[in-house]
Amino acid sequence: MKNPLSSRTVFVPILFAGIAGSCSAPLQAESGVFDRDKVQQVRTILSNKCFSCHGPDETNRKAKLRLDAKADAFAERDSGTAIVPGKPEESLVVERILTTEPTEQMPPPKANKPLTDHEKTLIREWIAAGAPWAEHWAFVTPKKPAVPDVKDRKAVRNPIDAFVQARLERDGLKSNAPADRTMLVRRLYLDLLGLPPTPEEVDAFVADPAAEATEKLVDRLLESTHYAEKWAQMWLDAARYADSDGYEKDKGRQVWAWRDWVVGAFERDLPYDRFLIEQIAGDLLPGATSDQKVATGFLRNSMINEEGGIDPEQFRMEAMFDRMDAVGKSMLGLTIQCAQCHTHKYDPITQEDYYRVFASLNNCHEASIPVYTPEDEKKRADLLLRIREIEERIRELTPNWAERMSAWEKAAADRPEAKTAWEILRPELDTSGGQKHYLLEDGSILAAGYAPTKHVTEFAATTDAKKISAVRLELLNDPNLPLGGPGRSIYGLFGLSEFIVTVAPKGKPGEAKPVRIVRASADANPPVKPLDPAFDDRSGKSRVTGPISFAIDDKPETAWTTDLGPGRSNVPRQAVFVFDKPVEFPDGAIVTVRLNQSHGGWNSDDNQNNNLGRFRLSITPDPAATADPVPARVREAIAVEPAKRSEGQNATIFSHFRTLQPDFVELNRRIESAWTEHPQGSSQLVLANREAPRMTHRLERGDFLKPKETVAPGVPGFLNRSRAGDDVDPRLRFALWIADRDAPTTARSIVNRVWQSYFGTGLVATSEDLGSQSEPPSHPELLDWLAVDFMDNGWSFKHLHRMITSSATYRRSSAPTADQLQRDPFNRLLARGPRVRVDAEAVRDIALAASGLLNPAVGGPSVFPPAPAFLFQPPVSYGPKVWPEDKGPNRYRRSLYTFRFRSIPYPVLQTFDAPNGDFSCVRRSRSNTPMQALVTLNETTFVEAAKALALKTATEGGTDDSARATFAFRRCLARKPTAEEVAELVRLKTESARSLQGDSARAWKLAALDPAKPPQLPAEMTAADLAGWVAVSRVLLNLDETITKE
Amino acid sequence: MNTPSNDRDRMRQEAARSVSRRWFMQDCGVGLGAVALKSLLAENATAASGNPADPLAPRMPHFPPKAKNVIFLFMAGAPSHLELFDNKPQLAKYDGQLPPPDLLKGYRAAFINPNSKLLGPKFKFARHGQSGQEISELLPHLARIADDIAIVRSMTTDAFNHAPGQILMNTGSQQFGRPSMGSWALYGLGAETRDLPGFIVFSSGKKGPSGGNSNWGSGFLPTVYSGVQFRGAGDPVLYLSNPEGIDEQEQGRSIAAINRLNRMRYESVGDPEINARISAFEMAFRMQSSAPELMDISQEPKHILDMYGAEPGKPSFAANCLLARRMIERGVRCVQLFHEAWDQHGNLVNDLKANCRDTDQACAALVSDLKQHGLLDETLVIWGGEFGRTPMVQGGSDGRDHHPNAFTMWMAGGGIKPGLTLGASDELGFNAVEDKVHVHDLHATILHLLGFDHLKLTFRFQGRDYRLTDVHGNVVKKLLA
């Protein structure tokens, strides 16, 4: 249903006539003089100065008195009553705040939180007025307040303006006239797209006679993917997005698919409640799509520590704490981090609440799934379809295929490999070398933490077996491995350079002797191939991968791999190693297996390991043992009764079965050939639920080594109720709770941040915290109105943008008056339009757009624009990093797509205050420094932009200097320059050109993107002239106004 | 009119955060002594600078400071206290034996099985100076200034992995996101020069610091307080040089045009932020000549270069030490030199020799040089890494693992009692046992020397008043001169 106040409806001020209520309606309470604002002010004072000792935190509560709960504060106590409504003289609180006796005084002098006289008076007046009690505003579900009536109804275009105007009238501050259309159109482009308008776009808008030209423009901009890119950035900050792991190694990671998911979500205006649910629990939604799984990458944006000496569980816990913080700041708008160690001192969040939420998120694998670019995805779908069609063709050509398959199944079940008796070894775990190993319940070993690129791990197990003839190595999948494993390489695979076994009599490790392995078999034997370049060790030696014989050939340069090409290699595999003769000890043996994994690359600080990920060792006395040629997945499927098999299981069996049939050779060959076209794809970090729930404990002082009682999943009690039943997975239940219509902070917090993005400051300045300690909102009713309106309109960002941009408040001129500067320097009362320097990304994007260099391509892997190479090498970077500077079109992509190393932030963006993704950031600093001037003056991209803009100006900018100066000026600033400004630019052009006259070599060096290939210039123009325009362009790109939203 | 916040301090924070990041105001090179003594937290704190929107205006701390500058020689990787400062004859005696089991209760090691054999110290110690400080033979230069430094042999920390350890040492927390010590100092004191950043960082050695930029980041403080990385070769600071083909004249002409156009805009819209940007460009232009001048150590007399062991044109830790002095002379508030080289899991003997050869002379020279320039009194010099190393061996017989329970740092100048040895570890150098100094205590002490009560230097973030020392820290009174 269309909301009557949506963008196309011009709000008629007359509607306000007769609407009751005002900006701060008196409370119905005991008093008529104490309005809502003042009650909240008192609450804020109490929170700031009293709650840390007399608040929610029981452990640190003094005198057993709490002032954040009405019943306690008003209760009669032996020592007197803290607050006696209406009777300040009988209230202990008043006595204690007014006394000058240091031992009696509250807050105690040593707390260093003295009350000002104003605050004391306010508390006294509040009690005198009957101490009207109010819960903290942000903890109460917002209701849509009545829109206030105002004196100057002409100032009101929509309800936003009524709230703003009411406050301005109260404070007697005069608001600005509307911005002129040029200022407005540039503001809208920068706000909605993060890019400047072209002069043509400006002119078209200025010339548009339609009454609703602005609304039309806004609608058009909201349809642009650039809108989604601009607003995705806000969420990326909050989600601490980066393309690397952080900590010491800070290895690159593949998470761009999540970033693209965010862009896509803004583009299709995914309702915000849905947006949150999918990011917390998209994988748990019925029939979850790959996209919805990718959405859970939000929680995986935590840093990962793979230093050599770490305990992986410690840093998984750190990541959990980080997720809690991110959820708190970005979704709840609350600081819940405090409750990690103790019950919150200001907000009613208990430590148990914290760990209940923690438990809701704790039952996860740190998983990774394959993802593909849209082109690859299409290619992949095509070839999978092709394979299905060929398989269908096989079935068509073979009417009796079902009987044949069933016969084969029976034969497979009878194969000797299916009957070999294997004893699983449960070895001691190797602790050398830095990689950590976990022994799982099924006897398999999971590698984690630091991943050396060349190492030998040793696993020794004691067994009672008296005779051992062979060892089996099973490679298993695990959700915590890249792409599910079974290896740890970026492909989820491995290279086993050598498999070495020694045996000793039980209890006599000193008598260990090597065993000669004479025969090895495996269920995957890929052809011999040169080692993937990702694992180059810079030794110059030729290293290869291939069949299982490579694991027992005693040649360090060869390795067994199970890489059968992309798309079908991340499956369980096995190999069997048979001894030259059985080993026999009457009392059992110690079997030691050495896994030589030397097929990784040169740089262990990068993603170059090629290690085994999850594996299991078994022994058998059977000297005829052979690796089961039937793959584990097929065995699993066969084990299921035919009637109970899923479609997938049937397909799995058939796809294996057909490969064994000689009459299908040609069609099988075509399928094999199709598989070779499968794209490699990329990966995305996601969450996946564990089958066996992980117990969550309250951690004393947040220390993972001090687990206390177990805590069940749940939500904090002081906010909205959880509606979902117990049958819903706790993580999904938590997601639904956050995105609930009744959630008091969810909508307020995001609406406030959108407002902050437009106006520079939120209605609540402390946008990361709406709790007791937050700064009171400048316009509390407006915040509530916007929050409810947002929810009423399907949690639609686009609706919110239309609402804000259609307000007179937004459209005002931003030039401050002296009175405004004096009385409201930070424009909190919104008498003028916003005038703020744009965000880091826009600073760079404006230069790219104005110069015409911008490559508008959307999405895909992050890109590597120019950066000084030394930044990525020691001793600046901890380890050598790869920064393959883009020379092609990717050089000029929007800044959103710049690869983000956490430890080495991209300097251009960092200098303009972009956060580095260490932690959730919902409010950026905005600095103004000489370093920024150096960037826009001298950094490569800005210099290239100046050259490109100059060339554009020279070739398209008109025929005389004045026209050209105007052309370049408007590409940067939209508006037409004044005569004085034109004169300044033309003078600069002339002087610069003159200084280069006759030195065309130097002029080209300065003016051409590639001096070796100087561009074609208009007939009358010289290289020196072009250099003059470079000077002009450079100046324009450096202007305050260019990087400012006015 | 009431502004929505009537808390002045909050206003200042807000101003610093979201309004003007002024790198300099005119004529602000005011020394500490010249500024009227006003408490940072006093109602009129911002009035002292005359500009509430200037986050870098010089400010007086809570009480008269002993030091106004800090140089932190950060020995990343964690140097072995047992080979450098903490002489343990008993460890030599028990070499090759297992440590007492109760010592290992609850002990977690990074790489080794904690129940590994003890490894005796590899180098000899002797007493030096009138103070008789005990220093290893690896540090002959430092030994000569033994009477100028205070050695703390009872440091402890909570972390035993590099990134968390370094982040803790530099920001007071193992969790990322907190402001670095230098940022806190700049936030508290403001800047004394606007010709250079107030907090400058160098990196030398084998690798970069673990944890990267966050070691000198501003965390939740405004970004204007974060450290700026310099380097000893090429452009000292990123993008300092003009683009190819643009000479100083052209650059000057362009900046003049930028500022004239900016001024025109200011006259039309009146936003003071434009003035701040004009100043930033003037400053940038000045920095383009002042920074190379600062970095040009060839201007130093030969005996000074020799004293440090620095060679013009050759980046080194020694050159960085000399640059640190030049920066302090020019009013830079904090300089931090990261030298990553000390992670001796193996090759302990040879690596330590090499590392000490690379650093000992320059560290000692820096202290002496500051002294002879009359700067040591107001400059606090700190030397140390993120933790210590195990008394137990790693590998064969030539390596030590990470160890948080005891390690050594030294300090000099800026109100530190010279010639003092503070604290002691147990006879194996395993646990600090006397006058324990936790990282938080070190931070409290540093802030104290800078004139701050560490409990009161706070920044409101997420509803809480954060401190460098979080909820910990005691000033180590015994260290004070």
Domain ranges for chain A? 36-133, 374-415+639-680, 416-629, 940-1045
Looking at the fold, whether B197 and B322 belong to one and the same domain comes out as yes
B60 occurs within a structural domain: no
User: Which stretches does DSSP call E strand in B164-234?
Assistant: 199-205, 228-229
- Which of A938, A985, A1000, A1045 is the best mutation test for B, with the most CBs of B within 10 A? A938
Chain B residues within 8 A of A450 when measuring between CB atoms: none
- Average pLDDT, whole number, for chain B? 88
Interchain pair A928, B160: CB under 8 A: no
| Same structural domain, B444 and B419 | yes
Give the separation between CA A386 and CA A291, rounded to whole angstroms: 23
CATH code (residue B213): 3.40.720
Q: Is the per-residue pLDDT at B25 higher than 50? A: no
* Residue B137 Cα, gap to closest chain A Cα (Å): 28
Pick from B163, B401, B462: which is nearest to A768 by CB? B462
Token pair for A75: 């209760």
Instruction: Write out the DSSP string of B98-128.
Output: PPPGGGGTT---SSS-SS--B---SS-EEEE
Reported as half-sphere exposure (CB side, CA atoms, 13 A), residue A1004 has a value of 12
pLDDT, residue A346, reads 83
Looking at residue A43, its pLDDT comes to 86
- What pLDDT, on the 0 to 100 scale, is given for residue A104? 86
Helices (H), A69-212: 70-74, 92-98, 117-128, 159-171, 181-192, 199-207
Over range B328-350, report the average pLDDT.
Answer: 97
Q: Over the stretch B250-268, which tens digit does the pLDDT of each residue have?
A: 999 999 999 999 999 999 9
- Nearest residue, CB atoms, A995 vs list B223, B242, B250: B250
Give the pLDDT score at A33: 56
Enumerate the residues of chain B whose CB falls inside 8 A of the CB of residue A303: 176
Same domain, B218 and B107: yes
Q: How far is B56 from chain A (nearest CA, A)?
A: 11
Q: Across the interface, which of B218, B228, B262 has its CB nearest the CB of A1039?
A: B262
Q: Residue A518: enclosing H or E segment and its boundaries?
A: strand A517-522
In a domain, B59, yes or no: no
Query: A656-671: b or e for each residue (b if 16 or more CB lie within 10 Å)?
Result: bbbeebeebeebbeeb
Instruction: Name the residue range of residue B321's domain.
Output: 69-232+315-479
> Is-contact A160 A803, C-beta < 8 A?
yes
Residue B102's CB: how many other CB atoms inside 10 A? Answer: 6
What token pair was written down for A372? Answer: 């593909």
pLDDT at B17 over 70: no
Least confident of A699-703, A1030-1034, B137-141, B426-430: A699-703
CB A941 within 8 Å of CB A947:
no
Burial class (CB in 10 A: 0-12, 13-18, 19+), A96: middle
Contact of B67 with B192, CB cutoff 8 Å: no
pLDDT score of A848: 98
> What percent of chain B has pLDDT above 90?
80
Count contacts between A and B (CB, < 8 Å). Answer: 298
**Secondary structure class of A663 (helix, strand, coil):** helix
Per-residue pLDDT at B10: 46
CA–CA separation, A422 and A626 (whole Å): 11
Q: What is the pLDDT of residue A35?
A: 77
A236-289 confidence digits (pLDDT tens): 999 999 999 999 999 999 999 999 999 999 999 999 999 999 999 999 999 999
Alpha helices for A778-878 (secondary structure H):
780-792, 797-805, 808-811, 818-823, 840-851
Asked whether residue B62 is assigned to any structural domain, the reply reads: no
Euclidean distance between CA atoms A1030 and A1039, whole angstroms = 14
Contact A597, A500 (CB under 8 A): no
Inter-residue contact A429 to A447 (CB < 8 Å): no
Find the closest chain A residue to B195 by CA distance. Answer: A930
The pLDDT value given to residue A480: 96
Listed residue (A721, A717, A761) closest to A737, CA to CA: A721
Q: Looking at the structure, do residues B267 and B221 belong to the same domain, yes or no?
A: no
Give A927's contacts in chain B (Cβ within 8 Å). 21, 222-224
pLDDT of residue A40: 83
d(CA B32, CA B193): 12
pLDDT of residue A143: 96
CB contact under 8 A, A824 and B1: yes
State which of B287, B307, B327 marks the end of a domain: B307
Residues 6+ away with beta carbon under 8 Å from A573: A474, A475, A486, A522, A523, A524, A562, A631, A632
In a domain, B61, yes or no: no
Cα B129 to Cα B419: distance, rounded to the nearest angstrom = 8
| pLDDT at B462 (0 to 100) | 83
Q: Say whether pLDDT at B303 is over 90.
A: yes
What percent of chain A has a predicted confidence (pLDDT) above 90? Answer: 81
What is the rounded distance in angstroms from the CA atom of residue A37 to the CA atom of residue A23? 9
Under an 8 A CB cutoff, do A929 and B23 touch? yes
> B53: pLDDT confidence band, cut at 50, 70 and 90?
low
- Residues in chain A with CB shorter than 8 Å from the CB of B265 are 1039-1041
Residue A30's Cβ-side half-sphere holds a number of Cα atoms within 13 Å equal to 15
At A453, the amino acid letter reads: T
CB–CB of B355/B347 below 8 Å?
A: no
pLDDT (tens digit, 9 = 90+) per residue, A330-342? 999 998 888 888 8
The percentage of residues in chain A with a pLDDT greater than 70, rounded to a whole number, is 97
Out of A837, A879, A1046, the one facing B207 most closely (by C-beta) is A879
CB contact under 8 A, A927 and B3: no
Residue B28 has pLDDT above 50, yes or no: no
Of the listed ranges A708-712, A1032-1036, B289-293, the least confidently predicted one is B289-293
Distance CA B201, CA B222 (A): 18
pLDDT, average across residues A932-936: 97
**B244 and B203 in a common domain:** no
Phi/psi for B335 (5° steps) reads -125, 135
* Tokens, residue B320: 């960085």
Rounded to whole angstroms, how far apart are CA atoms A804 and A811? 9
Nearest Cα neighbor of A274 from A791, A920, A896 is A791
Which candidate from B19, B212, B235 shows the least CB-CB separation from A878? B212
Phi, psi of B244 (to 5 degrees): -55, 135
Same domain, B212 and B251: no
* Interface mutation vs chain B, best among A137, A927, A1033, most B CBs within 10 Å: A927
| CB < 8 Å to B187, chain A | none
Segment A120-136 shows an average pLDDT of 88
d(CA A187, CA A202): 11
B64: in domain = no
Mutate to test the interface with B, among A51, A117, A248 (most CBs of B within 10 A): A248
In the Cβ-directed half-sphere of B372, how many Cα atoms lie within 13 Å? 8
Residue B445 sits in the same domain as residue B349: yes
pLDDT of residue A487: 98
pLDDT value at residue B2: 37
pLDDT at A46: 86
| Shared-domain flag, residues B171 and B288 | no
> Which residues in chain A are contacts of B241 at CB distance < 8 A?
938
CA neighbor of B414 nearest in space, from B226, B150, B169: B150
| Residues in chain A within 8 Å Cβ distance of B180 | none
Site from A250, A772, A937, A1044 to mutate, B interface, most B CB atoms within 10 angstroms: A937
Contacts of range B44-53, beta carbons closer than 8 Å, 24 or more positions apart: B44/B8, B45/B8, B45/B9, B45/B12, B46/B8, B46/B11, B46/B12, B46/B15, B49/B25, B49/B190, B50/B25, B51/B22, B51/B25, B52/B11, B52/B12, B52/B15, B53/A825, B53/B15, B53/B16, B53/B19, B53/B20, B53/B22, B53/B272
B295 and B423, same domain (yes or no): no
Q: Domains in chain B: how many in total?
A: 3
Token output for B102: 């109760």
Q: What is the pLDDT of residue A36?
A: 76
Residue A6: the pLDDT is 38
Please indicate, yes or no, whether residues B206 and B282 belong to a single structural domain of this protein: no
Instruction: Give the minimum alpha-carbon distance from B120 to chain A in angstroms, rounded to a whole number.
Output: 22
Nearest to A981 among B214, B218, B264 (CB): B264
Contacts of B56 in chain A (CB under 8 A): none
Pairwise CA distance, residues A834 & A815, whole Å: 9
How many angstroms away from the CA of B407 is the closest CA of chain A?
18
Show residues of chain B in contact with A346, CB under 8 Å: 463-464
Q: What angle do CA A323, A326, A331 make, to 5 degrees?
A: 120
Chain B residues in contact with A337 by the CB 8 A cut-off are 462
Q: Could you say which of B14, B288, B462 has the minimum Cβ distance to residue A335?
A: B462
Residues of chain A neighbouring B316 (CB-CB closer than 8 A)? none
Q: Which of B113, B175, B222 sits opposite A431 (nearest CB)?
A: B113
**B151 lies in the same domain as B42:** no
Cis peptide before A907 (omega within 30 of 0): no
CA nearest to B10 within chain A: A775
Q: What is the mean pLDDT of residues A59-80?
A: 85
pLDDT at residue A872 in the model: 96
Identify all chain A residues contacting B268, using CB atoms and an 8 Å cutoff. Answer: 815
Substitution target in A47, A332, A934, A1006 with the highest count of B β-carbons within 10 Å is: A934
List CB contacts (< 8 A) between B355 and chain A.
none
Q: How far apart are CA B173 and CA B176, in angstroms?
A: 7
Contacts of A992 in chain B (CB under 8 A): 250, 253-254
Question: According to the model, what pLDDT value does residue B24 have?
Answer: 25
Work out the minimum CA distance from A145 to partner chain B, whole angstroms.
20
Average pLDDT over residues A940-955: 97
Q: Would you call B4 and A777 a contact, using CB atoms and an 8 Å cutoff?
A: yes
Mutation site, B46, B235, B247, B254, interface A, largest A CB count within 10 A = B254
Task: Specify whether B106 is located in the same domain as B186.
Answer: yes
Q: For residue B410, what are the CA distances in angstroms to A560, A901, B16, B256, B363? A: 53, 34, 34, 48, 11
* A1039/B265 CB distance under 8 A: yes
